[in-house]
């Protein structure tokens, strides 16, 4: 079974920083894409930052210049360094992994980690 576990969320004041981690484990043959999404109260889930299957990075316009995604392929782990946090960054951040498992490509989600930014 594929497991996706996030960590690193918390409560910070505006201007602060957090570093989120996402580790994928289990019977994964190959990870195609890995990234971070978030869902704020009253809003739809949106992509924050991700590595595509082609190795490119994508960022939401709202986080460009503030957030940085990084990965450690040997550990099947992706990180999200969040700097200059704003109250509007408050959301549940979830890690998504697209990977082959038992010969099938599928999408796997972690349970999410809460990020709260106070004014």
Confidence at residue 86, expressed as pLDDT on a 0 to 100 scale: 98
The residue behind tokens 């995604």 is 69
Confidence at residue 117, expressed as pLDDT on a 0 to 100 scale: 98
Walking along the chain (119 residues) 10 residues at a time, the average pLDDT comes out as 94 98 87 94 96 92 98 93 98 95 89 97
Pairing state of beta strands 91-101 and 67-72?
unpaired
Whole-number Cα distances in Å, 28 to 4, 56, 77, 93, 102? 11, 21, 13, 22, 8
Give the C-alpha separation, 100 to 92, whole Å: 26
Confidence at residue 54, expressed as pLDDT on a 0 to 100 scale: 87
């Amino acid at each position: 079974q594929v497991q996706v576990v996030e960590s690193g969320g918390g409560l910070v004041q505006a201007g602060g920083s957090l570093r989120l981690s996402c580790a994928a484990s289990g019977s994964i043959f190959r990870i195609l894409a890995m990234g971070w999404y978030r869902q704020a109260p009253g809003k739809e889930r949106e992509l924050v930052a991700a590595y595509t299957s082609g190795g490119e990075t994508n960022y939401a316009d709202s986080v460009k210049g503030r957030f940085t995604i990084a990965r450690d392929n040997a550990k099947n782990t992706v990180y999200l360094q969040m700097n200059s946090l704003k109250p509007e960054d408050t959301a549940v951040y979830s890690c998504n992994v697209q990977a082959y498992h038992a010969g099938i490509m599928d999408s796997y989600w972690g349970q999410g980690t809460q990020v709260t930014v106070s004014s």
